[in-house]
Amino acid sequence: MPRAGQCLLWLGLVLASVCASLESAAPSNSTTGAALALAQISGPLNVLLIIVDDLRPSLGCYGDKAIRSPNIDQLASRSLLFQNAFAQQAVCAPSRVSFLTGRRPDTTRLYDFNSYWRIHAGNFSTIPQYFKENGYVTMSVGKVFHPGISSNYSDDSPYSWSFPPYHPSSEKYENTKTCRGPDGQLHANLLCPVDVADVPEGTLPDKQSTEQAIRLLEKMKTSASPFFLAVGYHKPHIPFRYPKEFQKLYPLENITLAPDPQVPAGLPPVAYNPWMDIRQREDVQALNLSVPYGPIPVDFQRKIRQSYFASVSYLDTQVGHLLSALDDLQLTNSTIIAFASDHGWALGEHGEWAKYSNFDVATRVPLMFYVPGRTAPLPEAGEELFPYIDPFDSVLELMEPGRRVMDLVELLSLSPTLAGLAGLHVPPRCPVPSFHVQLCREGQNLGKHFQLQDLGEDPHLRGNPRESIAYSQYPRPADYPQWNSDKPSLKDIKVMGYSIRTIDYRYTVWVGFDPREFLANFSDVHAGELYFVDSDPLQDHNMYNDSQGRDLLQSLMP
């Protein structure tokens, strides 16, 4: 279908203009109901940004009743929750640079882990940098930027942070032989439930990050300056290294398999990721799996899913301790809380076990915002909004999100939305191209969604989910799965998969890509995917070459 690339470009331009017109039709930042409500709070609002690694929306507040996540659910009950939020690339460094700068991967020119955007693309401002330049004390704890070349080996210091970022000392053991196997020996395994008292330093990275974040909150309690604190949690990123008691929450006999564990018959080979990173773990190597498609034995599939869910519940306790401390310090009435993940993670869907794709399981993320006095009433004196909840309690109260937004949104909207909610000027939209512009945004400001309660659910501001759209992309080194298909270096990228997600369908076209010029050739179409969400929510039946798919694509042509 040679016209598919033209169709994608045209559709993108049309829908981008629709989004821009919808946003421009909303009241300006200075006159919104949100701004008027926040004016009742004396002084600027602080920001607590919680970023989680590899967390798909497997949470109670997103409807997954099998997961024990009471503290995150409690946050959701006081927040505005975005039901359909999507990352722009399903791998750590490109996604984080994208949403922290508010630019798409094609602008940051980061598709791998091996370049620093300020040198190789443009001197783009970040959201913590913008807050810092507006009088905030900005602090980083844990994994916020991806460490290494992609953040200049400094987590973008000194640009983004008021003082050097904190990394837990125990993080250096994450990929070492600290997992005790059935043979009694220590291994570098994928599945790694541990006795915390027996691991090096007697602690785990996310525990240390929570403790450091609480120490910083205690210091900022008496500060005259507002703060922007970003806390990055490692789990549920692999290896699944977590306190072993969390396994008890998920008995193996209760763990179900993915509803679609087979590689779909119509899936183009270029779209498949062969999950090479988990194959490198000792316990997975012992399975002697075939490459690229596996499959993993059923009993081990259950163990992977069990450890992922246990890691989520462990993460939930850390979020709970952090938010409880915010309560204890009486900061909940002056602090915006944003909670997001950098991307999702496949747990056997389509026969895949990682991120590295354009499917919903890899790109869809949790995203929620608590704004004091807006998404929940201001707490009374002595009232706790976020008391710690033990996930091991036998009976947990079911908590519904404060309010859900069904519109499709993009993770790169995080930056302008936080700026607007904090009362700062929202950076302007980026021109095309924008490599020379230091401060602008390619994502929408989601502030209009926070106005609805004050404006009586005005239907003109509600928006139409059918007019919302999310873009994602993923690079490949070849048309068929190979050893570096998951994480190709820039020089090896030959194909780029550009994906459009609407409320009705996901449409992906895989086109030729020149890594030296950073150019996609939309007349060089290698493969395509089209999934109708209503009839195929799991995205298993590719209709790209079906008559129904051709009719839809033809109807979208100008």
pLDDT in tens, 142-167: 999 999 999 999 999 999 999 999 99
Q: Residue 105: is its pLDDT beyond 90?
A: yes
DSSP-assigned letters across all residues of 339-375:
EEES----SSGGG--SS-SSSHHHHEEEEEEE-BTTT
- Which residues, at least 6 apart from 282, have a Cβ–Cβ distance to it below 8 Å? 181, 187, 188, 189
Distances (CA, A) of 208 to 47, 194, 215, 321, 323: 20, 16, 11, 12, 15
When mean pLDDT is compared across 120-134, 515-529, 539-553, the lowest value belongs to 539-553
Choose between 216 and 39: higher pLDDT.
216
**What is the number of residues in the chain?**
558
Mean pLDDT to the nearest integer, 217-243 = 97
- Which residues, at least 6 apart from 500, have a Cβ–Cβ distance to it below 8 Å? 8, 11, 12, 15, 469, 470, 471, 506, 507, 508
The upper half-sphere exposure of residue 296, i.e. CA atoms within 13 Å in the direction of its Cβ, equals 28
CB 59 within 8 A of CB 386: no
Q: What percent of the chain has pLDDT over 90?
A: 84
User: Cα angle vertex 130, ends 126, 131, to 5°?
Assistant: 120
All structural domains of the chain with their residue ranges: 46-376+386-457
Mean pLDDT to the nearest integer, 31-56 = 74
**What's the chain's Rg over C-alpha atoms?**
23
Active site residues: 92, 146
Helix ranges restricted to H, 335-470: 360-363, 414-421, 459-462
Mean pLDDT to the nearest integer, 454-474 = 66
pLDDT in tens, 284-310: 999 999 999 999 999 999 999 999 999
Of the pLDDT bands very low, low, confident and very high (cuts 50, 70, 90), residue 402 is confident
How many Å apart are CA 353 and CA 368, to the nearest integer?
A: 26
Domain 46-376+386-457: homologous superfamily in CATH: Alkaline Phosphatase, subunit A (3.40.720.10)
Q: How far is CA 64 from the centre of its chain?
A: 17
CB 361 within 8 A of CB 349: yes
Closest to 473 in 3D by CA, of 431, 507, 434, 523: 507
Measure the N-to-C terminal CA separation of the chain; round to a whole number of Å.
Answer: 16
CB 30 within 8 A of CB 408: no
Tell me what the pLDDT averaged over the chain comes to: 90
When mean pLDDT is compared across 42-51, 85-94, 201-210, 314-323, the lowest value belongs to 42-51
- Which residues, at least 6 apart from 96, have a Cβ–Cβ distance to it below 8 Å? 51, 144, 145, 146, 342
3 state DSSP class of 233: strand
